[in-house]
Every structure is written in structure tokens, then in C-alpha cells.
Structure 1
Amino acid sequence: MLKALVRLAMMLSFTFLVACGGAADAPSPGASVPPTASPTEATRRPTATYVPRQLQAQLDGDGPDVLGPYEMGPGVIIAFVRYEGDAPFSLTFVDEDQGLVKSIDSRPGPYQGERVHSVFEGNDGGLAPGNYMVNVVATGPWRLRLFQERAIQGQTPEITLAGSGDGGGSWIHLDDGEYTMTTSHAGESDFTVELFDAKGVPPYQIVEIKGDHEGKFGFTVGGGAPGENPQAGVYAMGVVSQGDWSVTITSDDAP
């Protein structure tokens, strides 16, 4: 009798577990199971985007030479030159189609200076992104530094720069507004001052005169038709001269 009661209790317990599913019940065929991320997906990090490094090259020689090729990206390139010879010095960039872009054209030696250029697509007669040979004409020792930089900040006005001969190259940050450029120049040569947008667009010429000069020039940043005015941003200033000069930029909106 006792055995019969135990057997009956076991049968009732088994029936209850089957009806309720139990603690380890398997999912029904229609149930959805959340996907499990693979170890690779779980540990994957965001992909970093690397911008190609812009041109930075230091060259030297003694006499004429052709060097390269060197790749230029969009933006601004500055050529720093020191030449110890007595005969004229020239620096020319030669593109893959043998097109010539004069950077320094027959400057009397000895020569020390900087030249600033914009590099952008569609730069007819100027520098466009691509590969270039560097052609140097000289009769003595020289050193050349080609430098591109993705400038994101610069000095804010009031700014004063001064030098002798070709120069500039300093980065300037300009916000929207009205500005005055006060300049002086001593010498019989041409004197030009241009602003070169760090993003690589046609430069904005502020001053173009010849000979001795003292004066003021106003210019606007922002607004205007496309290409008419410089827009707010970072600029390199380029000066072409064979004499002593100074440039001061002030904001007309400053208190």
C-alpha cells in the first residue's frame, strides 16, 4: 500500500513539471532569441580617419639642381629660401605636364626670403594639388624649406609685421568685420600684400603699389559675392618686395 502511494505521488509531480515547463524548459520553436554579439563586434572601436600629411621638405644644394617630385595638397605652401651666391636666384615648380609655376624669379643674390602660394583645384597658371619637381637656378650654396600646414588658428588683430624683401608667412585669424591695413615701403620695387586662405582658394590682394609708400587700405571680411571678399577664417599673409616694409592690421570694430 505504501509503495503504491509513493508511486502515485511521483506520477503527480512529473505531470505538474511537464505542464508548467520547469525551470530549464527549452524555448518553443516560434520564440525569438536575441542575437549575441561576436567577440570581434563587441570589442570593435570606431574607425579613425587619417588625413594625408602635407608637404614638409628641407632641401639644400650648391648651384643649379632639379629635385623631387614632391606632392602638394590643397591649402597654402610657403617656401623659405636662403641663398649665398651673387648671381640671381630662381625657384620654379614644374608639374607633371611640364607646366611652370614661378615662385622666385631672378632675385639678386645673396637672397633670403619667403614666398607664399595658394594650392587649389582649377588654379589656372598657379599651383593645383599634385606632384611637382623643384627647379633651382643658383651659382652658390642655398637652402630651401617647403612647408604646408593645416592652420586652424592664428593671431588676431592688432597685428604688426615687418621685414626686408619677400616675407610674411604668419598666420592671422580674421572674423567678419571691417579692417584697416596700414603699410609702409622703402625702395623702388613693387610692393604687394596678399591674404592666403588656409583652406586653399585664390588669394586676396590688399595692396599693390610701386616705390616708396606710406598709406592705409580698408578691407571687409565676410559678405559680398563669392570670391569678392575674404571670409572669416585663418590666413597667411604674403609680401612681395625688394625693400624694407611694415604692415599693421587693425579691426575697425574693436572698442
Structure 2
Amino acid sequence: MENQQDDFFYTEDNLPQPQQDFGFTPTDEFANIRTQGYSVEFGDTFSSSWDFMKPFLGQLVAYTLLCAFSYLALTFIIPQIVSFMNSSIGYVVGAIVNLTVISALLAGFYSYFEKIYNKDKFSFQNLFDGFEYIGQLALYQLVFVIILILPSLLIIFALDTFSAFNPNFKSLDADLLSYGLIGIPSILIFTFYIFTPILIVLAKMNFWSAMEMSRKLVLANFTGVLGFVIGFTLLNILGLLFIGLGTLITIPFTFAATFILYVKLVKKNGASTNFSGDFYTDENAPLDAF
């Protein structure tokens, strides 16, 4: 395993060996690539991500399986714990707890990949480091869900109104159309905030600053990042076709690809980096206006 790791870090042209104390926070708010633009090389990121995670595939698959069991367990256990509440309230509490725990578990992938990339000592336990940021991750998930719900409610209301005035419009057609229309804004919103968890974990940013930074970074090449999101969404759907077992590989692969893409953007930006950059001061946020 150690030889495989060294081969990757020392021979991969597009991901050179990191310097000591390499950070993941450009203190100039990604000014260079936001003004000059950047490309998302899907094929190159795909192959680089696979080479990056392949030596550690066993641990990653085991951890993904743990995340899946945790999700299923919380889905069934939390409603029982809060059964003394009103059923609607209990469902909401269960959903919030589940979403918070799972978001912390999944964010652990980034902490794990950071250790590997910087050649720090790491272990399976590092995959649980996402819980150190559970507060900010929970706030992000809450705001993200609210942003996601608003267009969904508008779409459902519009379809219900249309159905009321058009008796020939079948309920099945309305359901299929609503799923399609809700799916589109969901993918778009997710694309804007794809880098939020990695900014919270690696750049130690608060949730709102991370959301804004992700949005601004994605705006510099929205179509490229959208293609990246759609590509890996389809890959995970493909993983579901094999009784869901394929997702044990496609899920960590998706997080590895997001990490590699972020590292590429940091390197392309070329700015000095640290772990506590303030994006929102006048001297460090030259593009804060958009």
C-alpha cells in the first residue's frame, strides 16, 4: 500500500507532491481563477481520483457501509425515540438528527483525504473527524434544505393550481412532472454549494462564508461544475442498479473526485494558502461584490 501511495504522489503530473504545510484556503478568495476562469477536466479528474483512492479502497468501502447502516438505523430508531411527540414533529426531529449525523459522517471523507494528500499520519479513525465540525455542517444542511424546499413548494403549488383548472390533466402525469421539475432546481442548487462541506472541513470556515465562497467559485464555471455533478450523479445511479452495492465504491469515489477538483482549483489559483484565511476583509476579498 505504501508503494502505491508513493507512486501516485511522485509521478502524477497534474497532482504534484504537496509542499510541507500545504493549506487549502486561498486567502484572496480565488481571485485569479474567478477572473480568468477555469476548466473542469472530467476525464482527468476521474482518473486522478481513482488513482488517489485506490490504495485505500478497503477502508473507504467499509466506512461507506458504516454510513449506510447508520442512515438506516437512524431512520428507524429516531422515530421510536421521539414517538412521545406528535407524529409530524417526531418525523421532523428524526429527519434533522439523521441529516446532521450523516452530513458529519460524509464530511469525514475530506478530512481523511486531506491527511493522505499531505502525507500525514492517518488511520480509519480520521474518517470520523467530520464530527469536529458538526455544528457548522448542521447549520449548512438546515439552510440548504430551506433553500431547496422553496422552489419545490412553488412548483407543487403551480402544478396543483394547473390541475384544478385542467380536469384532463392526470394525477400520474402531475406526479411525474413534479418530480422532474423539482429535480432540476435541486441539482442546480446542489451544484452551487458543492464545495461548502470541504470549505467547512479543510478551510475551517463558518457555514455561511463557506456557502458564499462555494457559490462564487462555481459561478466562475457553472456549466463545467454542473457537468461534473451530473456525471457523478449518473455514476451513483448506476451504482444503485447492482442492488446498491456499487455505491460502496461510487460514493467514496465521488467525494475523492470533489476533493481532487478542489485541490486542482487551489493550485490553479496560485495564491498563498493557509487554514484560516479571512475571505471577508477588504484586502482579502477583492471579488466579494459578486
Shared fold per TM-score greater than 0.5:
no
The structure carrying a bigger helix percent of its residues is 2
TM range (shorter): under 0.3
TM-score computed with the length of structure 2 as normaliser: 0.19
Higher strand fraction (1 or 2) = 1
Structure ranking higher on relative contact order (CA contacts 8 Å, 6+ apart): 2
Q: Which has the larger radius of gyration?
A: 1
